[in-house]
Homo-oligomer: A and B are copies of this chain.
Amino acid sequence: MEWGTKDIRKAFLKSALTEENPFISTDETIKWLAERNEAVHVKVNRVNFDDLNQWKFTPNKGSLVHESGKFFSIDGIRVQTDYGGVSQWEQPIINQPEIGYLGFITKEFNGILYFLAQAKIEPGNVNNVQLSPTLQATKSNYSKVHKGKTPRYLEYFKERSRCAVLLDQLQSEQGARFLRKRNRNIIVHTEEEVSVHEDFVFLTLGQLKKLMQFDNLVNMDTRTVVSGISFGSELAEEEVIKYGASSNGLDYLKSSMLFESSINSIDNIIAWFTELKCLYDLNITKIPLGTVDQWHIEQDQIRHQDHRFFKVIATEVEISNREVARWMQPLVQPEQDGLIAYVAKKINGTLHFAVQAKLESGNFDILEMAPTVQCLTGNYRKTKKGALPFLEYVLNARKDQILIDTIQSEEGGRFYQEQNRNLIVLADDGFSEELPPNYCWMTLNQMQSFLKYNNYLNIQSRSLVSMISFI
């Protein structure tokens, strides 16, 4: 464990601040991904649940499960809560109790740390191939329940003598879709030779962040791992970034990393969050999937009566590349695309983000810290005016207020063509510093300090944090 050593930190910091790459430029990476996309054919055919090999409903349609009892199941839950306008509802949810690996191998070349990224095909991706971490594996994957090959590079993560661990965090998944699911976000550093398979490339952190400025090139798993990397005072120490007082939003972003001049202390924020956790109850009861109120199990899908939220579809996946792979699995398809947005405002010279304490049914601990606007389970274009705080504000933001605006995908191994708009909007002077009780101003530095400890920042917050670039 050498995270603390100055040399690695320096190599790592440089990685965030450069696109310099002797192996592949950022433009070449984009081309390479496009070629990969061309070269691969992914067919996702809808089938009936009756024909979904190796998957079955338990007696009385209690759950939809894999024959092995592994991977994941689709269960029914009843949710009771005093948070929000609806005090009780029932819904299907993905139950995947295993903790999977989302891991990057990093290696130093010429004093810069490079991240081994994979062009990974996932059946649910809108564009087939996206950049994923080096290793993306559930326990069922790497314990070979599916009788396939051992995932590439797994040994670097399992044999600890081969690598130093730079970061290893438990992080939550989508709370409205997964029941208490968490993944292990891990970055290791090796001094060994690494043989780079043709689906893999070494990229700087700066390149990864640059690629996130494009739609759907970098997958959710990469984004969550990258979000865990904090910089804070080290950026200041290195004096690589100067504190800028210009009106440019990115300068404020940078300033937000450098100075602990938040209007709220960490203790204040913890007190705010504790009070809300004590205020709201979240009771989850498992119920048979077949009895979930307002949801119908049809022969090829499980859907809400009004076609709201999402549906669970049965699919046959065919991926033809050099060879052909075929399998069947359920996928979760959203009924609409969504929007997540942070509103950020310069307060006392430092950029603050309006963080929302949000309850979602699958949360591990009642509330997590969500973006200012998170509209994924309903249609944000049809949301009644004023019903969702700050929604109109971010939708009506002027161009010069927008720091980040891209479309990003959810994990293509579980979600079918799910894309959401990711926005960071700079508030103008008229935006009130007073927030509703469920919201709290935090600097980027503070968000990242919460991110270190598990089950604070939700996956949508982490997706937005990951995109913040320093070059």
Residues of A in contact with B (beta carbons under 8 Å apart): 1, 3-4, 99, 165-170, 184, 186, 264-268, 270-272, 274-275, 277-278, 364-365, 452-454, 456
Contacts and interface: CB of A to CB of B under 8 A. Distances in A.
Given A4-B268, A265-B4, A268-B4, A275 B454 contact: no
B4 A270 contact: no
A267 B4 contact: yes
A266 B452 contact: yes
A277 B169 CA distance: 10
A456 B452 CA distance: 13
Nearest to A262: B4
A168 B270 contact: yes
Copy number in this complex? 2
Contacts of A165: 268, 271, 275
A104 to B, nearest CB: 14
Contacts of A184: 274, 278
Given A99-B278, A278-B184, A169 B270 contact: yes
Nearest to A1: B268
A8 to B, nearest CB: 11
Nearest to A2: B268
Contacts of A167: 267, 271
A196 to B, nearest CB: 25
Contacts of A456: 453
Contacts of A274: 168-170, 184, 186, 454
A282 to B, nearest CB: 11
A64 to B, nearest CB: 21
A278 B365 contact: no
A15 B282 CA distance: 39
